[in-house]
Amino acid sequence: MSDWELDLHPSYCDSDADITLESSDGVRFRVHSLILRLSSEVFAGMIAIPRVPSHGSTKGDIVHLTEKSDITLALLDSIYPRRSPPQLEPFSFVLRLATAADKYDIFDVTSRIRGLFVPRGSLPNLSWGKLEQYALASSLGWAEEARYLSRFVPPLNTEDPEQRSVLESMDVKWLLKLISLHRRRRDTMIRALSISYDRNASDEIRDHHLRWEYISTIHASSCRSQAHSKSIWSAIKFLVLSELDHSSADTATRNVTKLFSDRRLQFLWDEKCSKCSESFFTEPITDSSFVAELLRILIHLPKEID
């Protein structure tokens, strides 16, 4: 057996094939030009380009590809009849496969990968994370899928090595969209946590701030004092924003409201009014007004990238 034949991939070494593809890592695939032409106009154009036979080659033209052998094999398995399609795992492999399929305009591959993200309202059952799914959709310009997936991606952590490698693979436009989403969510919540005490304030103010008479319903109904501890409220702001900083748009409402069932927040419920000696704020187990008012803000935070 010649050295040339030793380099052939065992799944693609038919003697009646009329063209050879060579991957960037030196693996050769004997394939049928008719199948390539029918599957991809890009391949059809590449095959039509006249080439000088490679030194030592007696098996016809060699088309050199920039993709490695695992991606070349996956592309061929996707377009050849009676072949099992490649498994779409892990993320790094799927990203390379999707990029190659887009490059060569192989619709069967891109449509199968894109099919993972539809219908809207469901998430693909994949081992790779939501950031990776967003990165894949955005890298291929699938704007609707990327927009939907953005609601499941928590604020970015550039110090996480795994996240960092994904972020570095993304187009800066789509990366900035994610950063902007979480910045807008945080800024909106910071503004909301500045309490509106005046019932006669404009709707613009009251719509975007926690309203005193709703977070202090029981106390405000019988006492006019609003002299609660600003340091305690600052601690509450910190806890809410910390939770938001680790939550996706999809989980933030659940995580933040769950926070107010934590016994560590007992200091908030224990604070007494110096005028009437009653608590300013009532635990959710007794009165749900506080959490309901917080929910009003949370459900109106931006949910997806622009």
In a domain, 135, yes or no: yes
**CA–CA–CA angle 301, 303, 306 (5° rounding):** 110
Q: pLDDT tens-digit profile of 287-306?
A: 889 999 999 999 999 999 99
pLDDT at 134 over 80: yes
Let me know whether 218 and 171 are in one domain: no
What pTM did the predictor assign?
A: 0.82
Instruction: State percent of the chain over pLDDT 70.
Output: 91
Q: pLDDT tens-digit profile of 237-255?
A: 999 999 999 999 999 999 9
Let me know whether 100 and 26 are in one domain: no
The C-alpha atoms of residue 262 and residue 264 are separated, in whole angstroms, by 5
Among 127, 154, 179, residue at a domain's last position = 179
Q: pLDDT tens-digit profile of 147-185?
A: 999 999 999 999 999 899 999 989 999 999 999 999 999
pLDDT at 1 over 50: no
In a domain, 140, yes or no: yes
Let me know whether 175 and 244 are in one domain: no
In a domain, 120, yes or no: yes
The C-alpha atoms of residue 252 and residue 21 are separated, in whole angstroms, by 50
Instruction: State percent of the chain over pLDDT 90.
Output: 73
Nearest alpha-carbon partner for 110 in 123, 132, 94: 94
The DSSP bridge partners found for residue 19 are 31
Overall average pLDDT of the 15-20 stretch: 89
What is the pLDDT of the chain when averaged over all its residues?
89
Query: What pLDDT sits at residue 162?
Result: 87
Q: pLDDT tens-digit profile of 75-120?
A: 999 999 989 989 988 888 999 999 999 999 999 899 988 887 765 5
Q: How many domains does the chain have?
A: 3
Token readout for 70 is 């695992």
Residue 146 identity: A
Residue 103 identity: K
Q: Is the peptide bond before 155 cis (omega within 30 degrees of 0)?
A: no
Pairing of β 8-13 and β 19-22: unpaired
* Contacting residues for 18 by C-beta, under 8 A, at least 6 apart: 32, 33, 60
In a domain, 74, yes or no: no
In a domain, 189, yes or no: yes
- Residue 253 is part of which domain span? 185-298
Q: Find where tokens 């803000």 sit.
A: 297
